[in-house]
Structure 1
Amino acid sequence: MIVFPAIDLKAGQIVRLAEGDMARATVYGDDPAAQAMLFSEQGAEYLHVVDLDGSFTGHAENRSAVEAIVECFPGHVQLGGGIRTREAVEGWFDLGVSRIVMGTAALTNPEFVKDMARAFPGGIVVAVDARDGMVATQGWSEVSTVRVGDLARRFQDAGVASLLFTDIGRDGMLKGCNIDATVDLARATGLPVIASGGVKGIDDIRMLALHAVTADGHGGIEGVISGRALYDGRLDLAAAIAMAVRG
C-alpha cells in the first residue's frame, strides 16, 4: 500500500483545510519544494499535491509551486485541482506529473475523463468526494444529487488507475479515516481505492493495509493520503510507510 504525503497549495503556501473549508486553513509553510524534499528524505516515493485555488477557478493557480515540486521530487507526483481540459492534462504530464486526479470533471463531463483514461493508461485517478454520501465538486463547495457509489460505478470499465475517496466531514479533522466506507467502495467497484480524509495516526495505516489491493491489482486499498497528522507530528512518515509495506 502506498502512503501519499499531501501538499495542499493555497496562494503558494502549504495549507490544510478543515472539512474542505477555504476559510479554515492552517498554514504549514511557504516553500512547497522544500517540503517535498523533506518528505522524500523521510522515505516518500509518492506525493499527493492539490492546487486548492485551482479547484475553484478551474485552471492552474499554483503552477510555479507545482513545477518546483515536480522538478525537485525524485518520486511520483499525483496532482489534482481544477484540471478539466485536455490541454491541462497533457501539459501536466509533459511537465512530469505521474498521475492526474479529476473530480469535478468526472461528474460534469465523464466521457472526457474516460477519453483521458484511454489516452493516458494508468494516469487518471477519479476523485469521488463525499459529503453525507453525496458527491461534492468545485473544490467541495457544491454538493450534487449523485451518490458516491453511483459515480464510481460509471468508471468501472473506463481504464482509470484508481478511485480517490475522501470523506469530507473528516478531512483535516483528525477523526480517523472512514475505513468501512473506503473498503465498501473498493468491493462494490472492483477498483483500487485511495483513502483520504481524517487520518490521525498509525492505527489508520495498519487497518487500511489489511485491505490492500490484491496481487493482480484489483479492488482493495491502493494507498492512503495523509496531511495534517504528518504536519502536526501525530504520524511518523517513515513508520507509516513501513506499516503500509508490511500490510
Structure 2
Amino acid sequence: MKIFPAIDIKDKKCVRLVKGDFDNKTEYQTSPIEQACKYKDHGFKNLHIVDLDGALTGKTVNLNIIEEIVNKFDLKIEVGGGVRTIDSIHKYTDAGAEKVILGSAAIKDKSFLKGACEKFPNRIALGLDAKDGYLSVSGWKENSNQLTLDYLNEINNYGASRLIYTDINRDGMKQSPNFEETSKIANISNCPVIISGGVSSIDDIKKAKELKNKNIEGIIVGKAIYDGDIKLEELVKELDA
C-alpha cells in the first residue's frame, strides 16, 4: 500500500480546505518545501501535491516550488490543480513530476484526456471527485451531472495510469474515506486506484490495507497529518507492515 502524504499549496503556503471550500481553509506555518523535507526525512517515497492557485487560475502558478521539491528530495510526485492544457502537463513532466493529475478538464473534455494519455504514456493520473455519486468540476463548485461510474466506463480504455477517487463529502472532514464506493470504482477501473478524502486516523490506513483489493494502489493522507491526528512516525510504519 503506497501512502501519499499531501501538500496543498495556496499563496506559497501549506493549506487544507474543508470539502474544497476556499473560504473554509486552514493555513499552516510550515512551507511546502519544509513539509516535503519532513516527509522525505521520515522515509516516505511518494507525495501528492495540489496547486490550489492553479485550480483557481488554470496556470502552473507554483511550478517553481514543485520543481524545487523534486530536485531536493527525489520523491515520486503526483501533481494536480487546474491542469487544462498539454503545455501545463509538459511543464510538470519537465519539472520531474511522476504523474500529472487531470480533473475538471478531463471530465469536461474526454478527448483532452485521451490525447494527454497518448502523448504522455504512464504519466497521466485521473482525478475523479464525486459528491453523492456525481462528478464535480471547477474546484468542486459545479456538478457535472455525470455519474462517476458511467464516466469511468466511457474512458476506461483511454490509458490513464492511475485513478484518484475523492468523496467530496468526506474531504477535510476526517470522517474516514468512502471505502465502499472506492472499492466499486477499483473493481471496474482499468488502472490502479488511490483512496482520497477523509482519512482521520491510523485505523483508516489499516482498514484500507485490509480491503485486499489488488487494484487499490494507495491512500492519500492530508489534514490528519497537519492536525496531529496521525503521527508521521506511526504512518511510515504502515509502509513496511
TM-score, normalized by length of structure 1? Answer: 0.92
Q: Which amino acid aligns with 2:217?
A: E
CA distance in 2, matches of 1:113, 1:238: 38
Higher mean alpha-carbon deviation, 189-198 vs 65-74, is at: 65-74
For the aligned residues, what is the CA RMSD?
Answer: 1.5
CA distance in 1, matches of 2:159, 2:43: 29
CA distance in 2, matches of 1:151, 1:238: 38
Q: Which amino acid aligns with 1:81?
A: G
Q: Which position in structure 2 is the counterpart of 1:112? A: 112
**5 Å matches for 1:128-167?**
128-167=128-167
Q: Which amino acid aligns with 1:204?
A: D
Contact 2:19–2:169, Cα closer than 8 Å, also in 1: yes
CA distance in 1, matches of 2:62, 2:104: 18
CA distance in 2, matches of 1:213, 1:190: 13
CA distance in 1, matches of 2:30, 2:201: 25
Q: Secondary structure at the match of 1:165?
A: strand
Q: Which position in structure 2 is the counterpart of 1:230? A: 225
Higher mean alpha-carbon deviation, 152-161 vs 232-241, is at: 232-241
User: What are the Cα deviations for residues 60-117 of structure 1, in whole angstroms up to 9, with x where unaligned?
Assistant: 2223322222222221111000111111111110111110000011111211212221
Gaps of 5+ in 1: 215-219
**5 Å matches for 1:22-41?**
22-41=22-41
Structure 1 30/238 Cα, relative in aligned 2: closer, same or farther at 3 Å? closer
CA distance in 2, matches of 1:175, 1:82: 26
Contact 2:63–2:92, Cα closer than 8 Å, also in 1: no
Q: Calculate percent identity across the aligned residue pairs.
A: 37
CA distance in 1, matches of 2:43, 2:195: 20
Contact 2:66–2:95, Cα closer than 8 Å, also in 1: no
Structure 1 183/244 Cα, relative in aligned 2: closer, same or farther at 3 Å? farther
Q: Which amino acid aligns with 1:79?
A: V
Gaps of 5+ in 2: none
Q: How many residues align?
A: 241
Structure 1 56/241 Cα, relative in aligned 2: closer, same or farther at 3 Å? same
Higher mean alpha-carbon deviation, 71-80 vs 151-160, is at: 151-160
Q: Which amino acid aligns with 1:4?
A: F
Q: Which position in structure 2 is the counterpart of 1:90? A: 90
Q: Which position in structure 1 is the counterpart of 2:12? A: 12
Q: Secondary structure at the match of 2:144?
A: strand
CA distance in 2, matches of 1:35, 1:182: 28
CA distance in 1, matches of 2:240, 2:119: 31
Q: Which amino acid aligns with 2:226?
A: Y
Higher mean alpha-carbon deviation, 107-116 vs 179-188, is at: 107-116
CA distance in 2, matches of 1:66, 1:107: 25
Contact 1:192–1:213, Cα closer than 8 Å, also in 2: no
After TM superposition, give the deviation of residue 213 of structure 1 in Å. 5.4
Q: Which position in structure 2 is the counterpart of 1:75? A: 75
Q: Which position in structure 2 is the counterpart of 1:217? A: none
TM-score, normalized by length of structure 2? Answer: 0.94
Q: Which position in structure 2 is the counterpart of 1:53? A: 53
Q: Which position in structure 2 is the counterpart of 1:65? A: 65
Contact 2:183–2:213, Cα closer than 8 Å, also in 1: no
Q: Secondary structure at the match of 1:154?
A: helix
Q: Which amino acid aligns with 1:67?
A: E
Q: Does 1:42 align with 2:42?
A: yes
After TM superposition, give the deviation of residue 210 of structure 1 in Å. 2.2
User: What are the Cα deviations for residues 160-212 of structure 1, in whole angstroms up to 9, with x where unaligned?
Assistant: 11111001111111111111111111013243111110000111111111235
Q: Secondary structure at the match of 2:7?
A: strand
